[in-house]
Structure formats: C-alpha cells, structure tokens
Structure 1
Amino acid sequence: MSAQPPLVQSQTASAPRSLGRALLWPAAAVALGFLLVFNSFGTSTDAKPPAQPVVSAPAVVLSPSAKAEEKRLELPPAEPKRLKIAEIAVDAPFMGLSLKASGELEAPPADNSNLVGWYEEGVVPGERGTAIVAGHFDTKKGPAVFMQLSKLKRGSKIDISREDGSVATFVVDSVEAFSKEDFPNKRVYADTPDAQVRLITCAGEYDKKAQDYSENLVVFAHLGAVKRP
C-alpha cells in the first residue's frame, strides 16, 4: 500500500471531513488514518475557536476478572440512532458515513451543528471491534456537537442508543490530541477483541490559509454496560 495520503478535494464552505474504519484490518486502517490526519471536522474560514487544550489521561487499569467480564460485553449489529454524553450536554442523532470514490469519507452536512456520523461499513458501536464516530468541532454558524469533547476524562460515560432498542454505555479510557502530521493510525484504528469506540474531532490551532486544524482529538472508550430492551 502506498504511503501517500489520498487526494483531498477542497471545499469552499470549509466543510469538515470525516474518516472511518474499514471492515478489513489492518491494511485499510492505515489508508483511512491518512484521511483523518489530512482532513478536518470543520470550521468556517473566519472562525477563531477558543484555545483547545491537549488532554491526556492514562488508560484504565482493570483487574484480570474485570477485563474478562468486560470482554464478554458485546452486542450484535444494530444501527446507532442517538449519542448522548450528559457531562458535556451532547444529545445528537446519527447518520451513516461511507467512502467516496476518491477515498474520502463523506462528512455530516456542514450546516448541521448537532449531528454525528459513524462509518457504516465498519464496526457498529457496541459490536466487537473498534467503531468510529466523527463530529464537527464547529461550523460556519458557531460551536458544534463535539466542541466540548476535550472536557471528557477517564471514567466519563458515553451512551449510544441503537435501532434494536439497546443502549451501549461506553466508559472513557483516555482523551488525547495528536498532530495530523504524526497521527498514530494503528493505535486509533487497530481492531480490538472487545467492543470499543473512538470519538474524533478537530483540535489544536486553526490555520485560515490551509482551512484546517493542526490536530485531531480522539476519545478512546470501551463498552462498560449494556441496557437491553
């Protein structure tokens, strides 16, 4: 596989772009990782967002018995319907995202500030493996759904309601910002033996000329509880 990132078309509205996780690992993961490193989740060319701190927390250390118990927590595929994060007042519907012929992942509409997307050709949140959820940091209209994502911390709860009536509650392990020039593709996208999710948005300084942020913020979380209908 070529080490070069896929070509990216410019967008006059500075619409954010997303990324996803492919079904076949690990080869597709690196290619999709380049999409994140070189594409943002959007802002307008005039917006000047508040300073975005780099947030990092160590991974949760579980006892062997706790690890074994949590690894058994997984759900069959069912489309995600709503994302709720009470701690940062997020309550947003999902839309499916897929790859364009160019290799870019489609983005949620740039004019909708309260919408998240998941890569629907990859793992469903709650299913075993790594699910990818992307959202805008801001839009031309102002703050968007993931503006406060950096405020999450280890132990924060993320609820995802699914089409089958179940609710998958993920527990945050860490919240970290990475330079787009040195993005850890394998760490973010690698397949996992248990159900995990990555929430991804922009971070760092905004470059008006490039119409892009310098970093991406990634929330790493594992499935901690399941509510079945």
Structure 2
Amino acid sequence: MTVAVAADPHPVDARSAPPPAPASAEATGPVPGDPRPLAISIPGIRVQSTLVPLGLNPDGSAEVPPIEKPEQAGWFRLGPGAGEVGPFVVLGHVDSYTAAGVFYRLRDLRPGDPVTVERADGSRVTYVVDRVETAPKDRFPTQAVYGDVPRPEIRLITCGGSFDEAQRSYEDNVIVYGHLR
C-alpha cells in the first residue's frame, strides 16, 4: 500500500507498509486509559491544535487534514493511540496556498523539546523529541515511521524541502521522532 505522507495541497505518495501491530513494552510502558487523542501542544514551536482522526484514502494513501484548515493537525487512527506502545503518528500541513500550516515550524524542533497530547480519558501524555530529519518523499522511511517499536513513541510529519512548482508539491517530508517521557 502507499501512504501519502505529504501535508501539502497536492500530496505525493511514498512507499509504505501497513501500520504496525502493537508490540510489548520494554522501557517505557503504555499509559492505561482511553488513548484517543483530542489535542496536541508543542510549546517550542507555538503549536496548539485539536486532532482529527485520519484513515486511508481509497487509493491506500494516508489521509491528511483538510487543506481548507491548514492549522488543523490529525492523527493516524489505524495505528497506536497516544501513550500506547508503537509509533503514534500525527500529520499536519506546512502551509496552504494562503497561510502557514500547523507544522510550519516543525523543522525547528530540537532534541529534548516536549510534545504534549491530551487524551479522551482526560489525561495528558508528554513525549520528548529525539531527532528531526528530512527525507525525500520518494524514499520515505516507512519502517522507521510506522514500524514496530517496543515502547510508546511519536512521529510528527509534514512537508518540507524545495517546492516543485510543476508538481505543486514539496519534494521532502520533515519527520520528528520522539519517545514517551
């Protein structure tokens, strides 16, 4: 299947494997309760957004939040929820044709920066950024983003790099990796 990890008005598909099945926790265990995420806060880049559930498009690509609301982030509901074992994936636009998107400054995050997610059970889970990388969309690191991991982790994804005017799309993805604090 292909998963569109682009977060621009015209996403480009990247090769992908199905979302991982939950693995058992080794280091940081899962957080009990209702893991459905409601909102995300990233103080280091001044992000506050509710989270909408995202699934798959008919072509097998991942949905992205509506471009008409570039300030809206969404979570990949076919993977782990916030605080569950595995990669909790959040997608957001870098921009639209008219405004900066929710993840406009995602590339500015640094190791150690906190990312807090409010859950449906009223609890909050905080992740810590491990690294930020940029990857060409045609060589998207599917296993690193969606593959099994032994603890609760987070992935934040948006577009980045050069904008290809002919394709009306960014050439790269910015991906943030983090773990549950």
Superposition TM-score tier, normalisation by shorter sequence: 0.7 to 0.9
Partners of 1:21 and 1:163 lie apart in 2 by: 28
Matched, 1:104 2:99: no
Aligned equivalent of 2:174, options 197, 200, 217: 217
Partners of 1:168 and 1:18 lie apart in 2 by: 30
SS in 2 for 1:137: coil
Tell me which residue corresponds to 2:156.
199
Q: 1:140 to 1:175 in 2, by over 3 A?
A: same
SS in 2 for 1:138: coil
Higher strand fraction: Structure 1 or Structure 2?
2
Matched, 1:165 2:160: no
Tell me which residue corresponds to 2:9.
14
Tell me which residue corresponds to 1:114.
71
Report the residue type matching 1:14 in the other structure: P
Higher helix fraction: Structure 1 or Structure 2?
1
Tell me which residue corresponds to 1:41.
none
Cα drift, residue 92 of structure 1: 0.4
Partners of 2:115 and 2:13 lie apart in 1 by: 20
SS in 2 for 1:87: helix
Cα drift, residue 182 of structure 1: 2.1
Report the residue type matching 1:121 in the other structure: L
Matched, 1:140 2:97: yes
Cα drift, residue 102 of structure 1: 1.7
Aligned residues: 175
Partners of 2:146 and 2:44 lie apart in 1 by: 25
Q: 1:18 to 1:122 in 2, by over 3 A?
A: farther
Contact 2:164 2:170 in 1 (8 A): yes
Cα drift, residue 101 of structure 1: 2.2
SS in 2 for 1:142: coil
Report the residue type matching 2:56 in the other structure: L
Cα drift, residue 183 of structure 1: 2.1
Cα drift, residue 87 of structure 1: 1.1
Runs of 4+ in 1 over 4 A off after TM superposition: 15-26
TM-score norm. by structure 1 comes to: 0.69
Gaps of 5+ in 1: 27-67, 225-229
